[in-house]
């Protein structure tokens, strides 16, 4: 089972990882795993378990281009992020790192701390109350990138960009 | 009929493309800065397996985010980046003190109209000030672009912001941009481009104010049409060939009948100074609506409003006056050229005589890493582009975004102040 972590709207990358905690600023870059939401939600990094689900409001990840924001989420094993709208750079960065992002508003459907099962390949969340929530599939041209585990393995495997003719 | 983004991406894709299509394009320029370069270099070599960048002439590296280095770690990483730049045969390294990547690449003539420019910085929308399609990307996308000279885009729809009339005294490009954020909201142009029309009278760097703030409504790019009231007077500090390059390329112009997903018309004659209050950029109100807001420190700088024009606008208000008791005012020029120009014509001396101090051209405290980070409960009036909680230091600090004119007036009174209030109530000693 995975835990649901509910976040509000317009969560910016400074809230995900403040610039002061960038790998550039750290003695030991591996420490980045301790810093997702370090100031915005200090109970997140110590409590998150691999596979957990971030369920957020509109415009998740707005702000800077810092890939270390989604990287920090990947380091702690976030299983997927669900939000009605993702900021563009964050979405690309998460895609490139192989973090599944689903476009849906579940902030009032799921509760913070709720236990759910995420069936990634089916795009389904099953709640502890047995409710099945179907997530909208990602755009077809991006599905292969997630399947490959990110843009680097995708590019190395296929030698082309998403959406480019084979 | 095409928008500016459709025209630029069509040329870069080698075929006619329209909004909504997914395209692979050639990029004209890749910019990376010190904050992400170490990770970009690692992905380029270790993950993508590339030995060289695709074209060292079309990669620019700028050390601006922590410049000069603030710690042994940052100094060491900068040294690594310099060694790498040399090993790759990259000529376009702009080191500590040259300034923020965005104005620097425009001043150097590397960013030109009609180009596709990707940068490891979200404010790479800045290059829209010369009608380039500039956009920010993260480590992996930039590494891939540097390795291959290509990237992919979904061709954006375009949100048109059409300005009419002229600014009233004390009102400037920042107020137009913040007003647009107020109306469009932080997500209003997500996945879209913004075009700013009706601003031919603005200089290139004033246009950069609009272009950089385009990302704050979520935009992929923020373009100002390459039309100039006085072509020779766009960039007085730039070399002749740069001035020429700023002229309109043959293929790029506003086309009647281009499709816009949304049109926002702004009457500049009625626009008041706009203030973005904590903690989101779109939390904007007229200055007159806010009442008395006490300010501890005024920070003038960044790629949004640290240009020569911004220092000069502040100096016009500060001239012959002194900062309010207890006020600190930090000025961090956006580029060395801006600083040189402000030095040559006395603008800098005016700022210093008023009681302001000056920092090394670069990003300064915008990312909260050095050169003026904020303490808990401090209130900063910032001419930059983000007032997110914790952006400039303590998450308990408060950041208000405003124009350089409001910044200067506020530095004189100690609370958010309309520039014209200062003109009326505080006599200049000059």
B45-96 pLDDT, tens digit per residue, is 999 999 999 999 999 999 999 999 999 999 999 999 999 999 999 999 999 9
Gap between the Cα atoms of B354 and B359, Å rounded: 16
Q: What angle do CA B215, B216, B219 make, to 5 degrees?
A: 35
Chain B partners within 8 Å of A10 (Cβ): 186-187, 280
Mean pLDDT rounded to a whole number for chain B: 95
Q: What does the pLDDT look like over A23-43, one tens digit per residue?
A: 999 988 899 999 999 999 999
Check residue B233 and report its DSSP letter: G
Res B243: pLDDT: 53
Q: What does the pLDDT look like over B94-126, one tens digit per residue?
A: 999 999 999 999 999 899 999 999 999 999 999
Res B238: pLDDT: 55
Res B235: pLDDT: 55
Q: Do B137 and A89 count as a contact with CB atoms less than 8 A apart?
A: yes
- A129/chain B closest Cα distance in angstroms: 33
Searching chain B, which residue's CA lies closest to the CA of residue A160?
B24
- Model confidence at B427, in pLDDT bands (50, 70, 90)? confident
Residue B424, H or E segment: helix B419-425
**Burial classification of residue B56, based on how many CB atoms lie within 10 Å of its CB (0-12 exposed, 13-18 middle, 19 or more buried):** middle
B256 conformational bin, left if phi > 0, alpha if psi -120 to 50, beta if neither:
beta
Mutate to test the interface with B, among A11, A20, A88 (most CBs of B within 10 A): A88
Give the distance, in angstroms, between the CA of residue B206 and the centroid of all CA atoms in the same chain: 9
Gap between the Cα atoms of B130 and B248, Å rounded: 9
A164 domain-assigned: no
Q: Is residue B324 within 8 Å of residue B355, measured between CB atoms?
A: no
- Please, what's the largest Cα pairwise distance for chain A? 46
- Statement: residue B30 has pLDDT above 80: yes
Searching chain B, which residue's CA lies closest to the CA of residue A59?
B187
Buried (b) or exposed (e) across B350-383, using 16+ Cβ within 10 A? bbebbbbebbbbbbbbbbbbbbbbbeeebbbbbb
Name which of B183, B186, B376, B209 is nearest B301 in CA terms: B209
Q: Is residue B158 within 8 Å of residue B255, measured between CB atoms?
A: no
Q: What does the pLDDT look like over B313-362, one tens digit per residue?
A: 999 999 999 999 999 999 999 999 999 999 999 999 999 999 999 999 99
- Model confidence at B233, in pLDDT bands (50, 70, 90)? very low
Give the distance, in angstroms, between the CA of residue B100 and the centroid of all CA atoms in the same chain: 9
Gap between the Cα atoms of B98 and A18, Å rounded: 25
Gap between the Cα atoms of A11 and B213, Å rounded: 18
A153 domain-assigned: no
| Token pair listed for A49 | 């378990």
- The DSSP result for B367-401, as a single string, is GSSSSSPBPTT-EEEE-SS---TTTTB-TT-EEEE
Res B244: pLDDT: 52
User: Is B129 labelled as part of a ligand binding site?
Assistant: no
A106 domain-assigned: yes
Gap between the Cα atoms of A42 and A31, Å rounded: 15
List, in sequence order, every residue forming a beta bridge with B37; answer none if it has no partner.
none
Across the interface, which of B144, B220, B373 has its CB nearest the CB of A155?
A: B144
Mutate to test the interface with B, among A9, A62, A98 (most CBs of B within 10 A): A62
For the question of whether the overall pTM of this predicted structure is more than 0.90, the answer is yes
Q: What does the pLDDT look like over B371-395, one tens digit per residue?
A: 999 999 999 999 999 999 999 999 9
Gap between the Cα atoms of B119 and B87, Å rounded: 21
Gap between the Cα atoms of B366 and B368, Å rounded: 6
CATH number for the domain that contains residue A98? 3.20.19.10
Give the distance, in angstroms, between the CA of residue B388 and the centroid of all CA atoms in the same chain: 16
Sign of the alpha-carbon torsion through B338, B343, B346, B350: positive
Mutate to test the interface with B, among A7, A15, A61, A64 (most CBs of B within 10 A): A64
How many separate domains does chain A show? 1
Gap between the Cα atoms of B415 and B409, Å rounded: 9
Q: Do B218 and A59 count as a contact with CB atoms less than 8 A apart?
A: yes
Check residue B46 and report its DSSP letter: I
Res B79: pLDDT: 98
Searching chain B, which residue's CA lies closest to the CA of residue A22?
B35
Chain A partners within 8 Å of B367 (Cβ): 19-20, 64
Chain B partners within 8 Å of A95 (Cβ): none
Strand B59-62 and strand B29-33: pairing?
parallel
Q: Domains of chain B (ranges plus CATH)?
A: 4-226+258-267 (3.30.499.10), 276-425 (3.30.499.10)
Gap between the Cα atoms of B121 and B346, Å rounded: 32
* Domain range for A24: 2-136
- The DSSP result for B235-266, as a single string, is -TTS-HHHHHHTSPPTT----TT---SEEEEE
Name which of B338, B328, B350 is nearest B410 in CA terms: B328
Chain B partners within 8 Å of A163 (Cβ): 22-24, 152
Give the distance, in angstroms, between the CA of residue B345 and the centroid of all CA atoms in the same chain: 23
- Model confidence at B248, in pLDDT bands (50, 70, 90)? low
| Token pair listed for A63 | 């702000």
- A43/chain B closest Cα distance in angstroms: 16
Q: What does the pLDDT look like over A104-132, one tens digit per residue?
A: 999 999 999 999 999 998 999 999 999 99
ipTM: 0.97
Q: What does the pLDDT look like over B270-310, one tens digit per residue?
A: 999 999 999 999 999 999 999 999 999 999 999 999 999 99
A165 domain-assigned: no
List, in sequence order, every residue forming a beta bridge with B193; answer none if it has no partner.
B158, B221
- A124/chain B closest Cα distance in angstroms: 26
Q: What are the respective helix, strand and coil percentages of chain A, to the nearest 5?
A: 35, 20, 50
List, in sequence order, every residue forming a beta bridge with B374; answer none if it has no partner.
B393
Chain A residues with CB under 8 Å of a chain B CB are: 10, 12, 14-15, 18-20, 22-27, 39-40, 58-59, 62-68, 70, 85, 87-89, 92-93, 96-97, 141, 150-152, 155-156, 160-164
**Burial classification of residue B229, based on how many CB atoms lie within 10 Å of its CB (0-12 exposed, 13-18 middle, 19 or more buried):** exposed
Give the distance, in angstroms, between the CA of residue B27 and the centroid of all CA atoms in the same chain: 21
Mean per-residue pLDDT, A124-143 = 92
Strand A53-55 and strand A2-6: pairing?
parallel
């Amino acid at each position: 089972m995975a835990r649901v972590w509910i976040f509000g709207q317009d969560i910016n990358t400074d809230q995900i990882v403040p610039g002061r905690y960038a790998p550039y600023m750290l003695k030991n870059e591996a420490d980045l795993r301790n810093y997702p939401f370090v100031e915005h939600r200090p109970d997140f990094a110590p409590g998150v378990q691999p596979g957990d689900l971030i369920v957020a409001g509109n415009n998740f990840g707005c702000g800077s281009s810092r890939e270390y924001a989604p990287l920090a989420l990947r380091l702690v094993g976030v299983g997927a992020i669900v939000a009605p709208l993702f900021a563009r750079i964050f979405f690309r960065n998460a895609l490139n790192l192989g973090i599944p992002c689903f476009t849906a508003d579940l902030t009032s459907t799921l509760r913070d701390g709720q236990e759910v099962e995420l069936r990634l390949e089916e795009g389904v969340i099953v709640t502890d109350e047995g409710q099945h929530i179907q997530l909208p599939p990602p755009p077809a041209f991006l599905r292969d990138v997630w399947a490959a585990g990110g843009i680097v393995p995708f590019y190395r495997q296929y030698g082309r960009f998403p959406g480019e003719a084979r | 009929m095409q928008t500016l983004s459709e025209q630029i991406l069509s040329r870069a894709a080698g075929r006619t493309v329209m909004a909504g299509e997914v395209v692979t394009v050639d990029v004209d320029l890749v910019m990376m800065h010190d904050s992400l370069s170490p990770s970009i270099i690692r992905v380029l070599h270790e993950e993508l397996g590339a030995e060289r960048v695709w074209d060292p002439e079309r990669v620019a590296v700028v050390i601006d985010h922590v410049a000069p280095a603030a710690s042994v770690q940052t100094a060491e990483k900068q040294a690594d980046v310099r060694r790498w730049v040399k090993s790759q045969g990259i000529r376009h390294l702009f080191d500590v003190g040259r300034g923020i990547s965005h104005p620097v690449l425009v001043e150097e003539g590397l960013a030109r109209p009609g180009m596709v420019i990707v940068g490891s910085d979200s404010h790479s929308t800045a290059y829209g000030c010369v009608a380039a399609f500039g956009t920010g990307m993260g480590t992996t996308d930039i590494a891939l672009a540097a390795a291959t000279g290509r990237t992919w885009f979904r061709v954006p729809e375009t949100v048109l912001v059409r300005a009419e009339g002229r600014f009233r005294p004390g009102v400037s490009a920042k107020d137009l941009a913040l007003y647009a954020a107020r109306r469009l909201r932080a997500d209003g142009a997500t996945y879209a481009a913004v075009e700013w029309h009706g601003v031919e009278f603005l200089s290139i760097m004033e246009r950069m104010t609009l272009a950089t703030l385009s990302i704050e409504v979520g935009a992929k790019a923020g373009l100002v049409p390459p039309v100039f009231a006085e072509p020779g007077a766009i960039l007085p500090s730039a070399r002749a060939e740069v001035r020429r390059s700023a002229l309109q390329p043959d293929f790029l112009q506003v086309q009647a009948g281009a499709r816009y997903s949304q049109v926002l018309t702004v009457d500049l004659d009625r626009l008041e100074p706009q203030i973005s209050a904590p903690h989101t950029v779109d939390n904007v109100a007229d200055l007159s609506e806010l009442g008395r807001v006490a300010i501890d420190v005024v920070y003038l700088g960044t790629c949004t409003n640290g240009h020569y024009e911004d220092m000069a606008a502040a100096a016009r208000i500060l001239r012959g006056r002194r900062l309010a008791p207890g006020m600190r005012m930090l000025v961090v020029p956006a580029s060395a050229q801006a600083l040189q120009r402000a030095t040559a014509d006395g603008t800098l001396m005016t700022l210093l005589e008023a009681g302001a101090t000056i920092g090394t051209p670069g990003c300064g405290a915008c990312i909260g890493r050095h050169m003026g980070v904020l303490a808990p409960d401090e209130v900063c009036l910032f001419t930059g582009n983000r007032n997110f909680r914790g952006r400039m230091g303590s998450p308990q600090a408060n950041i208000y975004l405003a124009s350089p004119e409001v910044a200067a007036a506020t530095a004189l009174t100690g609370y958010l102040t309309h520039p014209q209030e200062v003109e009326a109530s505080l006599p200049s000693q000059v």
